[in-house]
Each structure stands twice: as structure tokens, then as C-alpha cells.
Structure 1
Amino acid sequence: MSSVKKKGAALYKPHTISKDKIILLLSGILSFLILTSEINLYIYADPLQFYLAHIFIFPVILFSVFIPEKGFILSAGTGFCYLLASLITISDGMRDILSSSLVFLAYITTGLLLSIVIQEIKDKEKEIEDSRKFYENLFENSPDGTIICSGNGEILFANESATKILDLKKEKIIGEKISDIGINPENFERKNGNNTKTEMESSKVKFTGRNNQETWVEIYGKETDKKSGRYQILLHNITDSVKAEEALLKSETRLRELTSQLPEVIFELDMEGNFTYATRYSMNIFRKAPEELTSGMKFWDVLVPEDSERAMNNFEWFMNGRIIGSVEYRAINPDEKEVPILVHFSYIIINNEIQGLRGVALDLSQRKHIEKALKHSEKNFKTLFENSIDAIITHNISGKIFEGNESAHRLLKTGNDELKSRNILDFFPENEIKEIQKSINEMKSGKSVLFESTLLSTDNNILNVEMSSKMIDPAEEKIQTIIRDITERKKNERALTESEKRFRNLTDLLPQTIFETDSDGKITFLNKMGFRTFGVNAEKPDYELYITDLVSDSDKENLMSEFLSILPEKAASVSDEGKEYTGITSINKNMPLLIYLSPIGAQGECRGVRGAAIEISGIKKAERALRKSEQRLNLAIEGAGICVWDWNMEKDEMFFAGNYQELFRCSVPEQDKNPESWREVLQLKFFSDIMAFFSDITDVDSKKYDRESRHFESEYKMKCRDGNHKWINVLGKVAEWDAHRIPTRIVGIMIDITEIRNYQNALYESNKKLNLLSSITRHDILNHLAGVKGFTDLLDKKTPEGNPELKHYVKLIRQAADNIQDQITFTRDYQNIGVKSPIWQNALSVLNSARARAQLREIQVSVDLEDFEIYADPMLEKIFFNLMDNAIRHGGNVTKIDVTFEKNSDGGTLIFSDNGIGVPEKFKKKIFEHGFGSNTGLGLFLVKEILEITGMKISETGTEGEGARFEIRIPRESIRYHEKEIA
């Protein structure tokens, strides 16, 4: 309940703002003002204004440091001086006034912040001095003894209380070794991982003074100076406490022996309602052993849900000092049977404070039944006697039964009169009667006897029972025996034994060696694999094999060291990882073994070690293969001249491998995880490209592609440390994602493509010059061709109508000129193929653009496409236009064009079909050749050439008379699909 009160008090604690928060707030304001004013000064101020803004900061700092109590006022005065000087030198009106005001505010904030910080430091120094005086006084006047020791154990200081507790003179203690006065630090010293003194656990030590008076002292210790090794030991006289504890322990032992015989549950609860003690009769009511109740269960955990809340409220009521009395509840056991109980509570009071509740729980099941038939109860002990779940029989020392409770009747299958006419020895097997009589005779001295035996009920059922007997009336030699049926428990024990047998059989099926040893290292259990592996004869039960016999001579000492470290007397920590040793088989063959060890038993009572020995020859072989594979990979990386990079985005760490030193022309350690180092090497372009990719694949509002398979590729020009520039091709892919599908790790490679870019640039310049030459030549030819066509028209007009032959030649000249013009136009279109790099284009958007340009007139266009993109030449729109234009020009009476898409394992097929006359079978391949066609034969030839740039193929698969059908086969790497949005 104290914890409840503490929590309640915490809720009403007034909210205050600490100085640290004020300093943090002022630091933030100051940082903002300084940053804003510096940016403003840097951009707009002239040199004089810039000089004035900074020269006044020095007196502000000096005033704040040496006169902190007036730092704010002096800083404000200095700021006004600067403001006046600044206003005198103003050159740009309002902008300079604003800039000066910002600097003025920065001065005031600086002075205020420094004043607070310096004053805080002075206050802390005063607190430290006061604390020093306080602890000096506490050291001398403390009722507990205090000893200060050097690192080698020499006593440097000791207060008066220490000399009184140890019954030694002060001058005799100073300069002595701590061990010489009966205090051995090794008995209570706790060490850290590197075996240096850090802290001492409390330890109780008994001292004998000069007059042989025994004094119990509780000792605490702690290192106070790591540099000198000095440590402090506190001595607390606990003699009275130890004597009181011994007396209390004796009294509590007698009390618990008494309560263990009572046929009701007596229990104790702590301040939180947890069981801290319960008698063994808890099995009768709660069907839970005392150990189970005291392992963290609360009192209301054993009650039905309807009574649990009432019990919690009553508990809180009781713990607040209200009246304690008897309360009735309904308990529930693991069989989900409700048991009415009557609980009487009393306080556990220690040092005049309530430390918990003590309770007695009575099972009311039988009593409620009896109360209906009996209006007047006999004595209280008779009620308890009749309502006990255990069988209770009262008999004399010769065994004659006087009385038995209902449970005894049920257990022995007898009526009341029949039971009274019997002797208790009648229910024991003949071979156990002598032992029972011996136990009964032992009770003459007043001892309680607890033993297990076997009973025979009147219906000849054999019962396993636990019996507790005690002489209750020595004068009449009356004995009360409590009998508990443990038949089911015995069955469970036998089942446990059978389970252990099955476990041992299971270990014999394992392909690893399983063993157990005693505390000396002698193997006490070995499975079949162990017998076979190490050549032990399983038929000889007296075989002698030690744990060190499993390994070679060179590993025996290491294995024994690990074995000893498992034992709690030697060390407290046990590793979960196996260790590798060289094993020796029955034929003296070496084999690698991985041995795991764990203690048998709890800390402090280790009975030995249990372990497993696993042959790892196959694992070793796999490791060698892995190393060989890694070596091949490294050789391949180095041979290819590439650099591998691995960016952990959560830790902001970059790992490099391969040809990175040659690539960057600088030395970058592979494990250098300093972000500034590798950011300086990789430069801004690298991170901007990756961040763009990162933003693209994590944008939840946009349509996405398959995130698991997406990768990015980028080229950028990098300046090396030696001043030269290189072109780098970077490829990467997301390797790991977090729970929100945000990338946390990206890996990739870098390739030096400087030579390739040089070749590309040279090729680009050559193509540029050739294209320029072609354009000029084409322009000149077209100009001359225009002249030819003009002269042809004049010639046609001058030719007499009566000269058909000359007219025919003129017509041929005009046709030849038109063909030349078409050929020249073709060279212009063909020249543009492949000039620009392929790009990703949305198929539906490109189709709609081409559809708008085509002269469709009354033709209906049906489109059934998924949302996907095609990696193709920028002239993809011209392809779609030519296919629709081809249907209009050559399809005959076309009224409908269908554009569809079909997915397949190789990628997909884009289909353009119409309902025209179709293409004859013999022309299906020729229509894509240069020069074939009813016009110039250039349209489908250009379509084929453009598609083949990115690996696409086109063919005509329609049926003559039913319409044309052009299929564009798109490879898998040239198509990507948008993810479907989830509604």
C-alpha cells in the first residue's frame, strides 16, 4: 500500500521549470538570434557594421563572467552602446536597423545566459563546500564505524565508532593491514570483468573483543578512488539484531511446525497481497502446493472472478487500518470447482508498522452442508475435524479407533460405526504393520511422525497415502492421525519416471553425443552415439570415463578449465555458446567437436555437468568451401576493377571493398564508419541520386513498382583527391527494409567508366558533326530539288499537248523528283533513331498522344492496357502513330482499331489489330523491309528499327480478309508495372 501512496503523492507534485531547462531555452533562443544576425550581417552589412557587431561582444562576456549578478544589466548597457554606434553609422535604413536590433537582442541573451551559468557554477561550488563539511562531521560523529583503506589494504583513517566496535585503540588501528584486524576483503569483495575492485557486498562478521565479548558486525565496502585504489569500509553493529533474529527464527520454526498440523490453510500476505507463506493444507482448498502459492500468486488469484474485486477492495481497506474480521469468499481450484471458504485476517506488525496480513482459511464446503442438519454445533475443533478434506482418525497407541471424520469414511469406504469397531492396523498390509507400530511407539516422546504408506480400503482398493500422526493426549495415549490420499501424486511420479526413461531413449536416437558428469568430471550417463564414438562398452555398468577422455591431449586442460568454470563454487557465469575441441574416437582418429556444457542443479548445489558433443566435420568443410567462394568473389571483384559499397542507413555507416583506393585516388579504410569521411569522398551527387530513389520507393501516395526487385543506376562526375575527374557508374539495390517497408540498407557497386564516357563523348561529337553535315547536305539537295521540280513544271507547261511522249518523260522526271524528296525525308527521320538514350515511358500516355495526332475520322479505337511503362527510344510515339496510320491508309474499310496487352513469362506483348483487309501471307515479312510498300516503304521499316534499339520485336500475325494484327514483343527487362493501389 506504501507504493500506492507514493504514486498518489507523485500526482500532486507541483510542476516546476528547472534551471537546466531555462538554460536550454535561452541557448536555443541565442543560437537562433546569432544565426539570424550573422546571416543578415554577412549578406547585407558593410565592414564597419560587421566590425561594430562583433567588437562589443568581449565586454559582454567579461561582465557576465566576473560580475554575473549584474551581467544582464551590463550586457543590456553594452548592447545599447552598440545600438547607438550602429544607428550613427546606418547606411541602409530599415534593414540596418533590423540587423542592429537582432545583434542587440543577441547581446542581451548572451549576457543573461552567461550570468545564469556562472551564478549556477558558484552556487554549485558553495554546495560542494557545505557538503564536504557535512560529511567530515558525519564521519567523526556517525554511530557506524568508518575505515578508509589504501589500495594495498593499509588503514589510513578510522573514526571513533570503528574503534569501539572493534574494541581496539585508534593508534593501534592506523597503519595496520585491514586483514590484521579480522576483516578479510576477499570474503565480501565483488569484482568486475577485468578483476579490479569496484564494490563490496555486505557481509556479516563476528568479532571477539579483549574481554571475549562477541560482537556481530555488518560490513559494507566500496571503492572511493579508482586512481589510488582507495576504498571505504562501513561497520554497523548488528549484535542485538542477530540475537533477535535467532530468537525470532526459533519462535517462527515452532509456530510453523504447529500450523503444519492444522487441517486448515494458514497463510501470510505481503503489502501487495502476494502469498509469502502457506501451510501444506493449501492443497486441500486451492489444489495448489505452498511453493506454487508463494511463487508470485496474490490472494485474490485463487478466488472466483466475482469475489476477486471484493477481496482486493477488502485488502486495501484492511491495509489502511480498518477493522479486521472474518470474511467469506469462494475459492476456485484448477478443476474450476468453487470452494466456499471463511478467512480470518490479522495484522503482521513489525517495528510498530503494518507489514502485511496473516490469515486462516477454512473450507466451508462440508460445514455448510452440516449446518442444514445441525442447528447447534459441537466444539470448534469438531467442526474443523468433520470438514477437513484429509481423513482424520483418532486412536490409541494400540491402534483402536475412537473416531474418524467423513473424509476417513470416504477414503476407507466405511460407515461411522464400522470404523469405530476397527483397528487402524487393519487397513495396512501385513508387511508394513511392524514399521507402523514402530512409528507409533516413537510418538510416546511427543514427536510428530510424518511418513508415506499403503492402505487397503474395505473394497480392497490399494491407496497411496501420506500420514501425519501426533500424540494429542498423553494421559489417555490418544493419537490423531491425518491421512492424505496421494494416489494421484504417486501416479504422476511414476509418469515422471517414465518420462525420464523416454528422454533417455530419445537421446539414444540423437546423432550427437549426450553425456552427464558428476562434480569430479566422471561421466555418469552416455547415450548410444557416445558409446559408439568413444569406444565404451555399454554392457559394462562400471565403465570409467572422464570428460577429458573425449578430447585430445592438447585440449584436455582447456576442457577441464571450462568444466571447472561451470561449477558455481568456481564461477557464476555460464556461456550459452559451445567451444571447439579436437575429439579422439575409439580408433584414435581426430575429429573436430563442438562441446556445449551446462550445470546440473541450481547455483550453489551443482551436482555435475550436462553436455553435448557435436561432430562438426561437415561444418568445417562448408566453412572452407565458403572461404574459397569468398576468395573467388574477391578475386572477381578485384579483377573486374569495381568497388563494392554497403550503406547501413540506420547507423549511417558505409563499408567499401574492392578497387576503392584506385577509384577514389585516396586511402579510405574499409571499416571507417565516420560519415564525414566517406561523404567527403563520394560527394553530393551520389547521395542526391540515392535519396531520389529512396523517396520514390517510399512515397505512399504514388503508384509503385515491385520494391523488392527495383534497383537504381546513376552516372556522375567525381573529383578525386588528386584533382583529376572521373566518371563513375553507380548501381544499387535495397537489401533490407524495416517493419514499415522503409529501406534500412542499400548495397551496390561502382565502376570507373571514364574511358567509356570519353569514347561516348568522342562518338557524340562525331555523330553531331555527321548530323550537321547531313542536315546541310539535305538542305542543299532539297533546294536543288525544288529547282528541278520548278523547272519540270515549266517544262510541262512548255511542252505541246500534242507531244504525248515528251509529256510522259516529264511525268517520269516529276515522279523521280518526288521519290528523291521522300528518300531525303527518310534520311532525316532515320538520322534521329538512337540519337537520344531510351527512357521509361507510360504506354497509355504515349498511345493517347499518338491517337490525338492520327486522322482517325470515324474509326473507333478500343484500348485495353494495364498501367505499365516501356523502356524505349523517345520516338515510341511515332511507332504508335505509324501503326494506326498504316491501318487507315492500307487497311481498306477499317472501322475499328483494338489496342491490347498480354502478359507472359518473357515480358509481354502489345497488340495493334484492325478489321480491315489484312496483309497477304507472302508480304508479312516483306512489309518491314526498306523500300517495300505502296508508298515509299519507310513507315514499318522505321518502326522495326526503333523497336530493336531496346530489344523489342514486331511481327504481323493477322489473317488476310479479317484484318491486320501487329504484335510488339517486349522483353521482361524493358517493362515495369505499377503496383495496384489498395482501397
Structure 2
Amino acid sequence: MVISVLYVDDEEALCDLATRFLNKEPDISCVSVTSAKKALKSLQFEQYDILVTDYQMPGMDGLCLLKEISIRNIDIPVILFTGRGREEVAIEAFNLGATFYVQKGDPVTVQFQELVHKIRIGVDRNRTRKKLIESEQRFRSFFTHTLLGSAILDADARIIEANDYLCCLLGYEKTDLVNTYWPDLFNKGMDSDAGEEKRNFKGIRTGQYDTLHQKPDGTYIALRIALSPILEGTKISGYSLLISDINAEFKLKEQYEELVESRAIVTEHENSIRTVLNALDDCGLLLDLSGNILYFNTKAADFLGISNDSGDTVLFDYLSESDQKILKKGFSLALHLGEDQSVITAKGNQRYEWTVHPIKERKSFEGRIVLFCRDITEIHEIMEELEISRERYRQFAEFLPQSLFEINRDGTIAYLNPHGRTVFQVTHADLSQGIHYEQFIPEQYREFLQNYVYESFLGKDGEPVEVQLLRATQEIFPAFIQTISIREKGDITRIRGIVIDLTEIRREEQARHELEEKYRTLIENAREIIIVSQDETIQFVNPLGALVTKYSPDELIGKPFSQFIHPEDKQLVYENYVRRIDDPTYQEDYLFRFIDREGGIHWVKTHAIRIVWEGKPATLNMLSEITELIQAQEALKESESRLSSVLNFLPDPTFAVNKNGEVIVWNQIIEKFLHTTGSQILGHHKNEVARLLYGVHRPLLVDLLENEGIDIPDNYQIHRHEKDMVIADVMIVKPEGAPQYLWGKARPLYNQKGEVIGAIESIRDITDRKMIEENLTMVNQKLNLFSSITRHDIRNQLSLIFLAIDNISTGSLTLSNQDYIKKIEESSVRIQNFIDLAREYQEIGVSRPVWNPVLQTFFDVASSLNCVVSCDPGTCKCKNVYVYSDPLIKKVFFNIVDNTVKYATRTPEISVKCQETVDGLIFTIMDNGPGIPEGEKELIFTKGYGSGTGLGLFLVREILGITGMQIRETGLYGKGARFEILIPPGKYLHR
């Protein structure tokens, strides 16, 4: 099968020779194009087996072509064909999906033979891959649509794929099954003869077996599982799983086993019932649902008159018609509810209780009824007497002034007297419908009162307790409650209790407590020391006062207040006390010091008023301690003094500001750096520092500390910007016009408590270091480009020479010898041009930039070329302008003017002008040539563009970039070229 190849290379001659070489192979058909864009267009309309592309091409290189193929989802293997020494390119190419990377080298025939070999391997791999994809798609179709639960497990028995039927069968979503450990889902199995059980060393059960699986919803399903290992050689690489539903089969088996069990236990159960009936002292019978007597004890025989010779007998034949109706109703309720039912029958003065017990514990014995009967005549008489007693008790309870209640064992309220109905706001009709006592208990007391009632039913009469209860209106009220047990024949049948409503009592107590609490809270939680002074002695002090003075209240009360005042302030305090006693309107605040028990001195600010204390004049003094504030103020003054002393010895210009932005420190080095003394700047706002540094008001580094969202000036290069530190570089222009680079660092100033009290900024002149760094960057750029020129462009030309020589020597001629010799000469000339241009390029940046008169330099260069140069004296402002540039600025002007002369269709005319803007100085060069098309205005400055070497305007941009200058073309096509050179501030001056 013929392999179709699309070959891409921007060198037309090399592209042509490579195509001819590949087409000589019997199984290869090669088509070539000279750009990546043409290759993409060809791939859009034609199908190829493989793509071979060069790396370095103008516009879109080989790597960009790889990215675009990936974005457009084009399925084609790609070989990157380029020069040696580009291992980093090979790595990136493989990351982008390249199939192979082939290096160009010597001899050329060998390198193309290697390319042919890699083409065949790449196409063969791609065809094999597509077949595998088709095979996998067929398998996935079967895997997805089969009516068996299917899954694939990895070597660790974790599910890596499961079909929809398996997810439905097990009751899981697919996302829940994937990556789940298989034994965790099925750790309980059933005995099965379906297959031999095997377990490997990991404990994974293989083979065929049955198991019972519980779904996430709690239901069970019976499954048959077949788990087989997938082998690669002798190693298990995974497992294949098939699961089928055997739930119907499992249920049939379960029903059969239950039937066998039922037959075995019927006889045993019936014998047990007969034994129980024989042991009873009361009448007992075993009946079927129709009332047929299956068995009866001797008591039943005597009571009903049944003999063993009676044969098949029906119970109802031995009862009166009224008793039959009562008993049949009990049978019906018992069978319907599945619970025991008791009914009463009468015979003269005798009373009998019948208990109907339906058998429901065993399915095998359903449809049987056990019937008991006992004489309750004596019990009935006692109950009647008890009811009479209860009626008298209730009549007494109706008149009690407390709430009286009774609770049944099921928790319903059996009785609530009128007072209780008023308290709980319920009616007698409400109680008759059945109200549970928990309805009147708030949630927070529910567990406590449940236990309290439960213990009463156990016979533990409770002590009176105070709780909270609920009225029917959901109003909560406080109450006392106490209960006692009510016994009938030794059994506790209900409990009785009394409730006392404490609402009014607690309301009065709460009002009194709240009043006391307000005054107590006010005094104890006051943030000031509160002291009452009378007759020059302390009559009252609050807890804070005792705490601060370190005396107990008893040690302070009754003592002269002057005993605790600092000697220097005693007269001041005494005079204010006397004046306040004499003049009730006097309220002036003042500061003084007092001494605590340990001799500590405290500063306080006092506010006092005159009051009446126990019938006599006194002063109420509220003292706010301000010791820390006084100490902080003193410490701040001392700290600023120490900081100023330390910073004066720093080698870098340094200043500090306080929180208000005022300069508080100005060291000796910054005095010399900015020619400003401390006396001239201290106390001024930091904006004055910015003016001294930059000539205008703009943010300092200390400003960036205060606000991270502040707009940062363009000439700042921020290295670190955090809340507690800013480090940055900044470029400024000296008065004489030279650029100067400064390094700065700013940090907050903190006091001993860690509070920010200001900021400090240090400055360092790093102009020399910056110049060195810029030179190093420029040298690296030159080395990279120089390497690219010599390695790629020259090697491409050598490849053309070697291919031409190979065709001549082997006789594989597609052109004449003269044509091949011409191609060799052209390639040799281009190699010589590349070497000459590389030598020119390496001179860029060798010499230190200098100040050059821009207009004079341009006129000197243009005078050596055949053109007319003009400058309108009224508009040209370049006469006294100097620019800071590389000495090769002359080469810049030469290349621009040379292009004008080269492409001119008439006598070339050039005009220049200068214009100063906010972004810098614009030096404009305009000609009367054909101009530059709109789509090529930026391409003309790229390496390799144009009909010549493609390096002229590229070198122009490189030379200007050394000192930060930029160039762009802004002319109108057809009306001439217009080159604008932008010179940034600091890189030009007027002389």
C-alpha cells in the first residue's frame, strides 16, 4: 500500500530536492508545500498518511503547526525534521504529539534514508492503532448492550469499567462502582454447586458461585457470579466479571425449605400447646377458625360438659345464644387485630372472663385459636365496690384548690379536677377524647418527667419537684409537682398527683431579682474604678477598685483616701474633693497617681460628682486607669529617639514616618543623597519626600504597605509586595538627564504590643548593577540569535549543497549539471552573507551607550547615500536633542535609508521630525517610496523576512532595544514608508 506524505519546508530548493528523493521510493508518494499555513489548507481538503515538517520557518514554525493540528483534531502522525543540537525542541515536540524527531546532518543521503525508515514505522503504527480502536469499539458495543452484568477489574480487583445492566442489577450508580474494591461489595456468599471455588493469594474468590447481595436501598437479590482472571503470560493483569440474576430461583428454594420446616414443627407445636392447657387451673381449649374443638383440658370438660366420646364437636353448641354472639365478636376482633381479646359472659349471678388468643408466631400453625375461661364473679363484686369508693374520692377532689390529676399506664390523663382544667386551660370534653400527659411538658423537661412518671409506676413515690409545664395554649409556667402510686390488688394501675402553679410567685421574685441584678451588674462590670468618699474616707469601692489596688474591700473601706495617693498628688486630690463638696456644680476632670499594696504606681483620670450617702454629702468618683497610655507615650518618645540614633549609622539613605505620614527620622546618608537636612524635612508629610525623589507627588514604598490595591507607577519593578514588606526597583532621571536606578525596601514600624506605629524605607543606588544586568541580557540574546543563524540557516544551505552533489555523483539527475552548480553557488553566497551579518550583529552592545546628537548623526549617515534629506526648521525640534544609544545607531539609520534607496521607484526623498509626548520623544523618518502593506508592518522587523538576508530591519530593532528604544512603521501603503522611533524618558535630553 502506497504511503502518502505531506512534506513542509520554507526552503523551496531543499523542499524540491527532498520531494524528488522521497518519490524515488516505490511505496512513497510525496507532496510538498513551503509554509505551515499551506500545509494546514492542504490537510483540510486531502488525506495523507503522515506529515514531515521543518522546525524553523517564518510566520508559523514546526511546533506551532503541531499545536494547530492538535487544536483542529487532525488525526495524522507527524515527524519533526530539523537541525542537530535542539534537544529541548524535540522534548516539546513529543509533548505536543509528534511521532518522531529526525535530525538533519551529514551525510545527507543517510539522513534521508533514516527519514524514509521513520516514515514507514510511523504509518505502520498509526494503521495498527486505528485497527485497535475499531476492535475496542466492537467490544464496548457488546459490553454495553449485553443482558448480563459485566465488569472489568484491574490486577488489584478494583472495578475499572462496568456496564449499565450491572449498575441496575446491583443498585449503584456507575460513578459509585468505578475504583471500588470488588471483595468489599460481595463478602458474604452462599454454598453452591455451580462451580469450584478458588481463591488467589490476595483472597479474591474466582470461578462461578452464588451469593446474596444487599442493595443500597436495603433489599436483597440473589446473584450468580463468574469471575475469571485475565493473564498476560503467567501474570494476572486483571479480571473479567459476569453476573446473572437468580433471584426467582433463590425464592423457590427458600419456599421449599420453609414448607419442609413447617411440616416438621406442626406436630411439635401442637403437643406443646396441649401440655400447657393440661397444666392450667382454668378452662382451656384449642380451636380451629370454625370453632371446632381440636383439644380441651379437664376443666373445660367439666365446665362445658364435653366428654371424650363426643367425637367432632363445635364450641358454640355448648353455649347460649347470647354467649355465642359475645364470643364470636371476640374471635373476629382477635383474628383481625392479631391480638388477644377478652370478653365477659354472665350466667345468673356468675361472671366469666373469656380470653381469645390467636396463634401467629409460626406460619405453619396459623389458623389456630387458644381459648381460656375463668370465673371472675368475686372480682366483679370487688370492682363494683371500688368504683363506688372512687366516685366519693372524685367528688372530694372537685372542690380542692389545687390541680389534682390521675394518669393511666398508657400515659393518658384519666382525671383532672376543675382547678386543674383551669390551670391547664382544657375542657372536660378535651379529656374525654384522650390527652397524653406529655402534651403538657416542654421539650427540655420531657426526659426528666418521663423518668419521674416511670418511677412512680414502679412504686417509687417521688419527692415534690419544681419543673416547667405547658398550658394548652403552649404558654410555659413554673410549677411544683408530686405523684403517688395507685394500687389495685397489689398492682399499680395508675398514678395520682398534684400540681401547684408558681407563676405569680416567680413573677414577683423575678422582678425583685432583676432590680438587684441591674445595680449589681452596673457596679461589678463597670470599666472604671468606682469609689464613694465621705469625710475624707473611703465608704465604698467596687470589685475592680479592689482588684487594681490589690487590697480587699474591707481593707479599703473606712481608711482615709489620702493614704493611697502618690505624695506629689495628695494636695491636688484633696483640693478637688473639698471644692466638689462645697460646690455641687463643680465637675472638672483631672489626672493623679495612686499607689497599690505592692508599691506600684497607677495613673488615673477621675470624673466625680457630689451625692448624698446615708444622709450626708459625699463624692462618687469614677476612675479610668490610663497607666499604659502614659507609659506608651513615654516609650514612643524614647523609641523614636533610639530609632533616629540607630538609623543615622545605616549605610543606606533611610527615613521613617509615623501613622499620620509625618517624617520622624531622616538619617545623615539621605541628607547627602537628597541634599536636604533633617531640620528641613522632619515633621513634614511624606509627600515632600516623594517630591525630593521624583520631582512630583507619587506613591512611595511605604504607601504600598498601607494599601495593597494602590495604583503602582509604571517605573516600579516590584520584587515582593506583602502586608509587612515591599521591595522594588525604580528608575529616575538625574537633573543632568542620565538614568539612575534605585533599590528600595519598606517595612512597618511596631511598638512593644505589636501595633503598627509607622513605617521605614531604605534606598540604595543600583545603577551600575542594573547596567551590568542589561548588558548580560543583551549578550545572551545575541548569543542565542547568533547560534540560531549559524546552526539553522547555514545548515539548510549546506543540505542543499550536499543534495546537489549527491545527485551529480550518483547520476540521479532531474536537472542539468549547470543548474545544480548554480544552486551550489547561490547557497555558498548566502552562507557568506550570513557570516558577514553575524559578525555585524556581534558588535551590538560591545561598546557602552553614549549620548549622540540624533539629527546630526542621521544627516551624516544619509549624506553617504543617494537620497535627498530635508527637515523643516519650523517643525523640526531635533537640533539640540541628544539620545542615549549604542554607538551602532549609525547602522540603524543606514539600514533604514538604504531600504528607501533600494525600493525607490523615483529619486528617493526623506524628511525627519521630532515630537515630544507623555511617553517620550518620537523621532520620525518618512520617505516617498511605495510603502509597506498593512499585513507586513510588523513582519518586516522579524529575522529572515524580505527578499535579502532578512536581517536588516531585525538588526535595527535589536540595536535600538539595547537602550530601551522602540521602532514601528505607521505609513500608508502607496504613499511612502514612515518609521517612528520612540525614545523613553531619561534616554534623551536637550542641550
The answer to whether TM tops 0.5 is no
Q: What's the TM-score once normalised by structure 2's chain length? A: 0.23
Larger radius of gyration: 2
Which protein has the bigger helix share?
Answer: 1
Quick one: higher RCO (CA 8 Å, sep 6+), 1 or 2? 2
